[in-house]
Structure 1
Amino acid sequence: MKNTIFVFKEGIPKYKQIYEQLKLYIENGNIPVNEQLPSIRQLADSLSVSRNTTLNAYEQLLAEGYIYSEGRKGYFVTEFEQSLFTNISSPVISNETDVVEHVIDFRAGAVDQQHFPLKIWRRISNHILTLKNSYQYGDPFGEECLREQISSYLFQSRGVNTNTNNIIIGSGTQQMLINLGKLLKEDFSSVIVEDPGYVGAREAFKFHDLSLESLPIFESGTDFSNLDLLMSRLIYVTPSHQSPLGVSMAIPERLRLIHWNNSRQGFIIEDDYDSEFRYTQKPFPALASLDSTRVIYLGNFSKSFLPGIRISYMVLPELLINQYKEQFHSFECTASLPNQLAMAKFMKEGEWNRHIKRMRLIYKRKMHCIVSELRSHFQQTVTIIGDQSGLFVLVKVHLNQSEEWLIKQASLHGVKVYPTSVYSIKNNSDEPIIKLGFSNLTYAEIKLGICLLKEAWS
């Protein structure tokens, strides 16, 4: 220990740096086996740190077996076979990197932090934590007070007429689909999915070994021409704002899908993931509002409120609800109990409706901003897809370049953009389509991002 030198770096806890350096000295044999280490006080004084700092470092080394303690004598180095360490290669950290720091990230799936109702949510959350029932396990199918609010909201906003008994609360769309897949695979061996479509849904179905059939989706809408030729009686769709192409299923198409489904005695899984944000006219009625007997409705608070809140919900038809509850009555609800109670109160106080109304206007303006900037900078070299609703746009780029090239060039100019090829099964676009989310960006960031993209793709 006499010749050991400690050099502290900024931003890393000092106890961790002491632990790492002592560990390295021991592994390299710089501190002999069974040598006594300085006392906690001696080491703290010599390094000008607190005793707790050196104590934490010693306790970590002790827990990992690098040192041992002998009563009041102190700490000593454990005996090791040096060959045990020489065969382990240490990670090499390079100072050189070709990664460019992203100035603008067009990530979809985030929400506007600036306009999040932080004070209101904090007030409600603090109140919830004073309630006795916040400190226990909740209803396995979700808190009744939240299910009541969701039932009322769905009737008013989406025309879905349901009761609290048919609503199931969970922690995310994928988790709900996995549970649902466990239930449905007893009677169904395959499922129809959109192509291109939500990858998370496909993975959830594949988790239960359900085979996939694809329903082609184009910029003009859904292609139902071969629907009757498909074998499946189960279909997953995003009719209000198709993911990722952004098209909405027209009323005649919805009615046709319902008729097809009823003729097969199957089920439609309707993922209504961001129907709150339509900017041209009111959203079309949900499929579940047109036929509640064989439509499974999925919704969530991730896009409209906060991704990290992890609250989603599912409305099951009478044909499935009892079977579902029998299967999952022994499982705890995966959604946070305090968050459920807080959201119920948030909705009951009218804050939810005010939040949606405010954010719809804000996101509409951001949509107008990004579309305007794209048209101004790129003119005829891009086609904008899905600018009527949602929190992202797709940009079909007519530059005779690959999706990979477009993403790499954008990154080199400090802009992070996202591919859409991952959504496709076999219905691939003839030209690359890039996904640009805008919900968490300011107007200035949107304008800068598009300007940088213009430089990157020129």
Structure 2
Amino acid sequence: MGRSRTSPGPAEDLLIELDRDAGVALHRQIEASIRADVRAGRLRAGTSLPPTRTLAAGLGVSRGVVVEAYQQLVAEGYLTSRPGGYTQVSASMPPVPADAGPAPPAGPSGPTGPAGPAPPAGPAQRPAARDVPVRVDFGYGRTDVSQFPRAAWLRSVRTVLTTTPNDRLAYLDGRGAPELHQALCDYLNRVRGTSCAPGDVVICNGYAQGISLLIEVLARRGARRIAVEDPSPDDDARMLAARAGLDVVGVPVGRDGVRVDALDRAEADAVVLTPSHQWPTGGVLPAAARARVIGWAKRRRAFVIEDDYDAEYRYDRSPVGAMQGLAPDHVVYCGTASKTLAPGLRLGWLVVPAHLVADVSAAKLLADRGSPVIDQLTFADFLARGEFDRHLRRMRPVYRRRRDALLDALRTHLPDLEPAGVAAGQHVVAWLPPGLDEAAVVAAAARHGVRVHGLAPYRLAGSGPGGLIFGYAVLGERAIAEGVALLATAIREVRGP
């Protein structure tokens, strides 16, 4: 294979968490983060770092701060730089001082997710009048596939078809193509703060198959109960667990994600979480809560299944690292291209604890003999070339404008609705004021040609505050404004005189 298939490629995004209240200069924090990533192998030799302007814009600092950090790391020998070229990770890393200790793990501060299933066809989700056309659809769990980077993907397809060795087109083992294992580890360790080794990766056909393989393996290993967040759209996990003979228990979600005190009482053998952007409420599980979840998993010898469905799309907050980087022996990381590129690719991946890899890959091999290898190699090349980073960087402002249009429209037409989870992702939850019936609002909106979904169908136990889920990824700003205005008319009808 050519260089783009084997080298780390450019790093157009980095997981760097800045604490402006820490009393430590920002350039020192950037230096420390990159230095730790190089020592831990999350940034491999030869990886090209983002241009100083790009990284500065992403972190919300001046370019001079990044320039100063890069210069210090070049002086220390961690990076190399030449005029007019990329700043790269040095091929020969300087020795680690004897008193430096091991490289620190990824910071804890910090559907997949919803895998885009059809919403339940409950009465509250059906238009009251079937002959009313849908004018604006705030459906969630979708990405704008019209923005798929066809030209860049085609370049990777051509590279694969002209350079792939013949043996890669034969049967592979259940884990998938080695090139994609390496490319994913380079990306996830750099951007999501995982502790990923190529031998821990299993390629699957999206999140749905990934969670199916995991539940099958856990059931065979003696698991009896699986916990899921409440509310949660994870029909895949619930149905598959029931089919495997496992009990399913819901764990309530608070403002910042799952309530760990309730998890302690669930007596589960595994829990499915969306810690970086809880679906649907948008909460981010704090560092202390993450540590408690990991402590729970270690005490019970249980597993955390981390569904990292849309963490790449963030607008008003710093990056939040994956939980897997904190406890790779107890956390299974689930990722997918469905929210970032297109669900039709059916590309997903699991980063599995080493002692589960053989069982999960055997289950994958039995299920379908492996995912399509041309697609795997194409995605590997796409990642290694830095095209995935460029696509995400191009799409963030697109989705941010649509998010902003939704928030502006809600402030204008429905100021008493309370948006939540707005800092990231492709959807917003808006809590309804007390006394406004969720089902009635959904039905009235349908009569006005607006499709919007409530939270009630996704609650596992009991009731909770009413809310509406607004997916905005595939809507233009004008359509968003029109839809909220129509919804406001519908809500006035529900409220009455």
Measured after TM superposition, the shift of residue 220 of structure 1 is 4.5
Alignment match of 1:438 (pick from 472, 482, 489): 472
Give the whole-Å Cα distance in 2 for the aligned partners of 1:372 and 1:336. Answer: 43
Partners of 1:333 and 1:250 lie apart in 2 by: 39
Residue 392 of structure 1 is matched in structure 2 by 427
1:253-292 alignment, distance < 5 Å: 253-292=289-328
1:211 to 247, 265, 289: 247
Kindly indicate whether the alpha-carbon contact (under 8 Å) linking 1:177 and 1:205 is maintained by their aligned counterparts in 2.
Answer: no
Contact 2:257 2:275 in 1 (8 A): no
Residue of structure 1 equivalent to 2:405: 369
Aligned equivalent of 2:50: none
SS of corresponding position for 1:281: coil
1:347 aligns to what SS in structure 2?
Answer: helix
Task: Name the CA distance, whole Å, in 1 between partners of 2:359 and 2:141.
Answer: 33
Quote the offset at 1:219 in angstroms. 3.0
Structure 1 residue 261 displacement after superposition: 1.1
SS at 2:240 equivalent: helix
Alignment partner for residue 171 of structure 1, among 205, 226, 232? 205
Aligned residue in 2 for 1:319: 355
Which digits, 9 at most, give the CA deviation of each residue in 1:146-196, with x for residues without a partner?
111111111001111221111001112121111111111122111111111
| Aligned residues: CA RMSD | 2.1
- Deviation digits for residues 74-132 of structure 1 (CA, Å, limit 9, x no counterpart): xxxxxxxxxxxxxxxxxxxxxxx842221211112222245332222234335545567
**1:226 partner SS:** helix
CA contact 1:167–1:314 (8 Å) conserved in 2: yes
Aligned residue identity for 2:295: H
**For residues 107 and 373 of structure 1, what CA distance do their matches in structure 2 show?**
17
**Number of the residue aligned with 1:162:** 196
> C-alpha distance in 2, partners of 1:329/1:118?
30
Partner of 1:225: 261
Amino acid at match of 2:149: P
The residue type equivalent to 1:251 in the other structure is A
> Structure 1 residues 399 and 230 mapped into 2: Cα distance closer, same or farther (>3 Å)?
closer
1:125 aligns with 2:161: no
What is the aligned partner in structure 1 of residue 235 from structure 2?
A: 199
Aligned pairs (5 A) from 1:41-440: 98-129=130-161, 137-186=171-220, 187-197=222-232, 198-333=234-369, 335-380=371-416, 382-398=417-433, 400-430=435-465, 432-440=466-474
1:2-17 mapped onto 2 (5 Å cutoff): none
Residue identity in the other structure for 1:395: A
Cα distance, 1:359 vs structure 2 = 1.4
**3-state SS of 1:185 partner:** helix
The percent of aligned pairs where both chains have the same amino acid is 29
Instruction: Report the CA distance between 1:447 and its aligned residue.
Output: 1.3
Are the structure 2 counterparts of residues 98 and 427 from structure 1 closer, same or farther at C-alpha, using a change threshold of 3 Å? closer
Between structure 1 and structure 2, the one with the greater Rg is 1
Shift of 1:224: 2.1
Quote how far apart the aligned CAs of 1:249 are: 0.2
Q: 1:168 to 1:333 in 2, by over 3 A?
A: farther
Structure 1 stretch displaced more, 365-374 or 119-128 = 119-128
Q: Which amino acid aligns with 2:430?
A: V
CA distance in 2, matches of 1:237, 1:147: 23
Which whole-Å CA distance do the structure 2 matches of 1:219 and 1:202 have between them? Answer: 23
Deviations 1:364-386 (A, max 9, x none): 22212211111111112x11121
Structure 2 equivalent of residue 457 of structure 1: 491
Q: 1:128 to 1:101 in 2, by over 3 A?
A: farther
Counterpart of 2:176, as a letter, is G
Q: What's the CA shift for 1:299?
A: 0.7
SS of structure 1 residue aligned to 2:253: strand
Instruction: Provide Cα deviations, 1:296-329, integer angstroms capped at 9, x if missing partner.
Output: 1111110111111111100111121123334544
The letter for the 2-side match of 1:389 is A
Amino acid of the residue matched to residue 276 of structure 1? E
SS for the counterpart of 1:379 is coil
Task: Flag the 1:427–1:196 CA change in 2: closer, same or farther, 3 A.
Answer: farther
Q: Write the distance in 2 (CA, Å) between the matches of 1:388 and 1:153.
A: 22
Structure 1 residues 126 and 233: CA distance shift in structure 2, 3 A: same
- State the alpha-carbon separation in 1 of the partners of residues 479 and 202 from structure 2: 39
Cα offsets for 1:14-69 (capped at 9, x unmatched): xxxxxxxxxxxxxxxxxxxxxxxxxxxxxxxxxxxxxxxxxxxxxxxxxxxxxxxx
TM-score, normalised to structure 2, is 0.68
1:54 maps to none
* Distance in 2 (alpha carbons) for counterparts of 1:323 and 1:315: 13
Change in CA separation of 1:235 and 1:365 when aligned onto 2, cut-off 3 Å: same
Q: Give, in whole Å, the separation in 1 of the partners of 2:485 and 2:407.
A: 13
Moved more, 446-455 or 387-396: 446-455
Provide the rounded CA distance (Å) in 1 between the counterparts of 2:482 and 2:313: 24
SS of aligned partner of 1:151: helix
Counterpart Cα distance in 2 of 1:243 and 1:407: 19
> Is the Cα–Cα contact under 8 Å of residues 192 and 322 in structure 2 kept in the other structure?
yes
- Residues 235-293 of structure 1 show CA distances to partners (whole Å, capped at 9, x for unaligned) of 11110111111101000000111111111121111111111112222332211101111
Q: Normalization by structure 1: what TM-score?
A: 0.74
Name the aligned partner's letter for residue 132 of structure 2: V
Partner of 2:75: none
Q: SS of 2:414's equivalent?
A: helix
C-alpha distance in structure 2 between counterparts of 1:372 and 1:454, whole Å: 13
Deviates more, 1:396-405 or 1:212-221: 396-405
Partner of residue 53, structure 1: none
Change (3 A) 1:330 1:196: closer
CA displacement 1:173-229 (0-9 Å, x = unmatched): 121111111111122111111111123322222221210122110235432223333
Structure 1 residues 125 and 101 mapped into 2: Cα distance closer, same or farther (>3 Å)?
Answer: farther
Moved more, 165-174 or 275-284: 275-284
Q: 1:316 to 1:196 in 2, by over 3 A?
A: same
Amino acid paired to 1:190: R
Structure 1 stretches lacking a partner, 5+ long: 1-96
Residue type of the alignment partner of 1:183 = V
1:4 aligned residue: none
Kept after mapping to 2: 8 A contact 1:397/1:433: yes
